[in-house]
Amino acid sequence: MAMMRSAQRTLWTVLWTTLAAVLVGVEANGLASIVEEVGSLRHEAVVAWDGQVLEEPSVENELVAWANTQSFIPEDRQSYRGVERAFLLIGVKTSVLHAFPARQAIRETWAEVAWLAQHDVKVLFLGCEPDLSGYDVTQQRKLQDAIALEKVRYGDLLTDELHCRDSYALLLDKVVAFFHYAATRWRFAFAMVTDDDIYLRVDRMVEILEQQNTTGRFYAGNVCSVQNRAPLLPQRDPTEKNYVPHEVYPMTELPPFALGPHYLLSADLVHYISRNRRDLRGFGSVEDVFVGLWLLALQVHPVHLPQFQDLRYALCSVDLVSLASLSPAAIRRVQDNLNQGLSFCAGSTHTGWLKQVSEANLPASSQSKAEWEALEYQWDIAYHHSTRDLELLINFTRPGNESVLQLSYISAYVSFFDLCREIHDQTHAALIPANAPDSQFCHRFRGFLLQIVNEAIINSPTTRPHFSQLLHNLQSRIPDFGFVIGYSLSATYPKVVFQSLFSSIFPHAQLVFFPEVLLDNELKRPPHVFIFSVLDGGCNMGWTQECERTVTMYTNKYPLSKLVMISGEAEDIAEYLPPQIVLVSTIQHVERPGHVYLSHVSASFGERVKHSPEDLLQPSLPTADSASRHFCAYLYANCNRPQREYMYDLLNEFEPVDALGVCQGALKEPNRTRLVGRASEFYNDDAVVIFSEYKFVIAFENARVPGYLTEKIVNALLAGSVPVYFGHSTTVAQLFNPESFIDCGNFPLLRDCAAYVLQVHRSDELYAAYRRAPPIVNRTAFRQHFSWHPAVDNAMMADQLRELFNRV
């Protein structure tokens, strides 16, 4: 591949590997299981990606700032004494000191007091007793006063009433304390436990519960083992906050359980846990796992509610009842949407909606740093055409050329943070065996990879789209949201385009792309998005029975995934597709709400490494004088297009036209010995090189349909040739400068067009005028047409896809 480079550098950072990892002198145990764990749910709160809780003792927080604005003490609204009643009692897990903005967002939206009263619902914030030991006496007093004021002002914050300490590490204790508090102080039909980053449609939730045939033995929520069709595994690493000791839970798979951000229990199950709270065994922060385990002893299995989702692991959807991992601003945005009669997800973006995670700033060992500085590395990049994947090869050596570690990785199959955690111990043992684990391993590692990627892009800027997914994952700051995109074999060709698009749609998420065979055999969980092609099931031949069966198969196979069908042909099957499928096609005007236009002209730049769309903004001056160029090139493998075969014969009658592919006009049989085309890794780049030796190129489309615009005209223009074009004249003129090509559609007969081509050929002045004309002068159309490309400052196509995903 043209972008390959080698380098030697002083190493400040660390390394990464993937599925193809090869560790020299290191046991790579456990790496084979990485694929099965990509995108697995980690049930994490707001923590740094290296596992450190981000709670710095500072009195200047939102809670104290709010308290300072209160000029009076309102009437005491607390009524924690005696027995109270509610149909649904909701306990919202919260950090007393650090989550005041989240509590306020909930109070002012879905938990507004009057709204809750209409539906016989009560919301309590589960705080427990906060740890103030990190503050001085004055700060402690300010915080205590602010907490007391919040309790009096709103009457919904539980602290000392729960008899527990406010710590994420003791989350199980908090939830059990809430269950005991509810069982002894309240009469209710159902209890719900949530995080403080959810939006809950209270009315819809009550409707669901009222439709239950019984109020007993009911346990429900987002059950990932059902949704993903695969069990989760216990975390055995004691440095991880979701650690489950073997002696507490010896099984190799976790039981089915409803995820912690939002789950429901009927009153009898809450009372069961309350009565047996001293005997029920559990550990740490994975309260959702142990609740599921305790109820399993009663033969109570969780009911999966697909209306419950987490924005870290799923797209927003219009039929949601509860959505977790929202920022306070996003919670308010959902409320505004519903108030205005908009869909739940209107305006949804991960940039603005997802609850953000900050990174910890941990000190690094100076000895480790010195060891890294002494290492050198060499790297190469390989390209795999069949899968459209980049493979980075790295060799680490010590002074004296002593090989320490050889790594190979393909970034499409595993997120940066999943892999970084997985290989930390192995790579550290190989490179710095004498030192303690490096607390900044992932920081160093990411910096190292960014250095390599940036150097490769600088050396060859036109290769940037091929690095978009890797660069995106390295720059992501959200470790526990792995967004999985699956695709069929026939949908491989636009993979680079979709990598760029999803990098824009989810700017902070880790992206992984799995071919269908890996989804089925390795990942064993449904992707967030699945992309298939019009070629699957022969849909390019129209809406046949086989096509219908294939579409039905995918809708049944991936019922929880967003489905995308790509159509690179001019066949229009939009009216037959189910409404939940987003159609990305080369036809511009389609009577279908779920449609995105992507021309071959645009998509072709995902299959190039030598050119960028920006090259079309100025004429590509010929490398040789036009007098030394051959007359005309004809490069086609599909000979079943009589109009372009006829044009070859017309021109060839007067000047020799070079037939470079299978086809050679209607008067001659196809020459199968010259079989060229898409089998080449970068056939578009190859075509540009070939055409650079010709004055003209016959660029006839397969169809004259609005929007159908292929790479044929682009390859000629990039080569400095004049395209002899035939297609949809209105479409081509909307993007390309009519003064830069000859449009045979503007002539009464193809013979008239051929005569004009010969006239331009024999006139240096006319030919030079075409050559001087920039291919594209309409920059607005340019930015929209190529909006997926990283070099073009426009997000139109990404915004369209995001909006369509929010609707279906």
pLDDT in tens, 636-667: 988 989 999 999 999 999 999 999 988 988 78
Q: Which carries the bigger pLDDT value, residue 263 or residue 245?
A: 263
- One domain, residues 422 and 542: no
CA separation for the pair 594, 578 (Å, rounded): 10
Note whether 277 and 410 are same-domain residues: no
Share of the chain above pLDDT 90, in %: 47
Which of 400, 430, 460 is the last residue in one of the domains?
Answer: 460
For the chain, the average pLDDT equals 82
Residue 528: CATH number of its domain:
3.40.50.2300
Residues 681, 590 share a domain: no
pLDDT at 396 (0 to 100): 75
Nearest to 470 by CA among 547, 414, 541: 414
Q: Do 771 and 796 sit in the same domain of this protein? A: no
First to last CA, the chain: 40
Calculate mean pLDDT across residues 584-600: 88
Query: Do residue 511 and residue 655 come from a single domain?
Result: no
- Given this model, what pLDDT does residue 175 score? 95
* 9-13, 396-400, 470-474: segment of lowest average pLDDT: 9-13
Question: Which pLDDT score, from 0 to 100, does residue 439 have?
Answer: 52
pLDDT for the residue 53: 32
- Other Cβ atoms within 10 Å of 439 Cβ, number: 15
Residue with the larger pLDDT of the pair 679 and 144: 144
One domain, residues 780 and 795: no
Sort 250 into a burial class: Cβ within 10 Å, 0-12 / 13-18 / 19+: exposed
Residues 635 and 735 in one domain: yes
- Judge whether 196 lies within some domain: yes
Q: Could you tell me if 366 and 404 lie in one domain?
A: yes
Least confident of 36-45, 566-575, 757-766, 787-796: 36-45
Structural domain includes residue 58: no
Range from 325-334, 379-388, 434-443, 478-487 that averages highest in pLDDT: 325-334
- Looking at residue 200, what is its pLDDT? 98
CATH value at residue 733: 3.40.50.11660
Confidence band (pLDDT; 50, 70, 90) for 270? very high
Residue 77 lies in a domain: no
Q: Which residues contact 453 (CB under 8 A, 6 or more apart)?
A: 467, 470, 471, 474
Percent share of the chain, pLDDT over 70: 82
Residue 445 has pLDDT above 80, yes or no: no
402-410, strands of its sheet edge to edge: 376-384, 389-398, 402-410
Tokens coding 558:
């991936």
* pTM, 2 dp: 0.72
- Cβ(543)–Cβ(576) below 8 Å: yes
- Which letter does DSSP use for residue 423 in this model? H
Please tell me the predicted confidence (pLDDT) of residue 805: 86
Which range has highest mean pLDDT (11-15, 56-60, 212-216, 367-371)?
Answer: 212-216
Taking a C-beta distance cutoff of 8 angstroms, is the pair 491, 532 a contact?
Answer: yes
Number of domains in the chain: 4
Structure token pair of residue 50? 């290296």
Instruction: Tell whether 439 is covered by a domain.
Output: yes
Among 459, 450, 477, 461, CA closest to 392: 450
Instruction: Output the pLDDT for position 762.
Output: 94
- Asked if the model's pLDDT at residue 71 lies above 80, the reply is no
Radius of gyration (C-alpha) of the chain in whole angstroms: 31
Instruction: Tell me if 307 sits within 8 A of 264, measured CB to CB.
Output: no
Residue 63: what pLDDT? 84
State mean pLDDT over 730-754.
Answer: 96
Same domain? For 564 and 675 the reply is no
Of 22-31, 132-141, 188-197, 510-519, which one has max mean pLDDT? 188-197
CATH number for the domain spanning 98: value is 3.90.550
pLDDT in tens, 351-400: 678 887 554 433 445 555 666 666 677 888 888 888 888 888 888 777 77
Host domain of residue 569:
481-598+791-807
- 593 and 676 within one domain: no
Q: What integer pLDDT is reported at residue 438 of this predicted model?
A: 52
For 215-279, give the DSSP string. SSS-EEE--HHHHTTS----B--TTSTTB--TTT---SSPPP---TTEEEEEHHHHHHHHHTTTT
Q: 495 and 455, same structural domain?
A: no
* Res 1 pLDDT > 60: no
Query: What per-residue confidence (pLDDT) applies to 72?
Result: 53
pLDDT tens, position by position, 95-126: 999 999 999 999 999 999 999 999 999 999 99
